[in-house]
Amino acid sequence: MAIFGDLYVRDNDLMNQDLMRFIERHSGEVIVTPYSSYVQMIAGAYLKKWFMEGHYLDILSSRALMSTVTRMEKTYHKIFSRILENPAPGYDESAENILSEYNVRIEHTGESMDNLLKIFYIKRHYPDVSLFVQTSPAFCCPSLVTEGMAKQIEKRTGVPVVSITYDGTSGNKNEAVVPYLAHLNRERD
C-alpha cells in the first residue's frame, strides 16, 4: 500500500493515529517515499510554472537544492545498491502528460497536483501496489479535490483509493482500510 496526501498528516504518527503500524498490524506492507524522491517527483512541474511566471530566482535556488538532493541520494544509493539490487528510480516523465489525464495543468500546483504525480510514480516503480491511502486533515480543500478525483485515479491506475480524514476526535479513523486489507489478505492466501 502507498500512503499519500497532506504531508503533515501523512507523516505525523500522532495525527494519523499511527497509520503505517496499523496497516502492518493487519498484515499490510507500506511503500515509504523518501522526501528526496518526493521532491524529484514534483520539482519539474514547479520549475516549469515558475519559469512561465518569471520567478527566475526561485528556479535558481530550487535547482541548487535539487542538485544537492540528487547528489546526496546518488551517494547513498551507491552504498545501499549492494543490498537493494534495484536501480535508482527515475522521475523523468513529463508532468504535463501525467496531469493531462486528469484535466489538471501545471498551473494548478499544490497538494492535488503533487498527489497525482506521486501516485503516477508509485504505480510506475511499484506496479504491484494494491491500495492507495489518502490522508487528510479535516476541512482541507486540496484533500477534497484529490478525493473528488479518486474514481479517476482508480480507473487510470487500477488501484482502489481509500480516503481517511483525521478530525482530531478519538475515533479510530484507520478502520476504514480494514475491509481492503482483509480482502487483499484473502487474495494472497
List per-residue pLDDT tens for the chain, 189 residues long: 999 999 889 989 999 999 999 999 998 899 988 888 898 899 999 999 999 999 999 999 998 888 888 888 888 878 887 787 677 788 999 999 999 999 999 898 899 999 999 999 999 999 999 999 999 999 888 889 999 999 999 999 999 999 999 988 878 999 999 998 888 777 766
**Backbone dihedral angles phi then psi of residue 165, each to the nearest 5 degrees:** -110, 120
Q: How far is 51 from 57, CA to CA, in rounded Å?
A: 10
Backbone phi and psi for residue 13, each to the nearest 5 degrees, phi listed first = -60, -30
pLDDT value of residue 114: 95
- The whole-number pLDDT of residue 189 equals 65
Helix axes 150-157, 141-148, angle to 10 degrees: 50
pLDDT for res 127: 95
- Give residue 156's pLDDT: 96
> What residues are paired with 132 via a beta bridge?
2, 161
Query: Which of 135, 109, 167 lies closest to 33, judged by CA?
Result: 135
Instruction: Map grid coordinates 520539482 to a residue.
Output: 43
Task: Identify the H or E element spanning 98.
Answer: helix 95-100
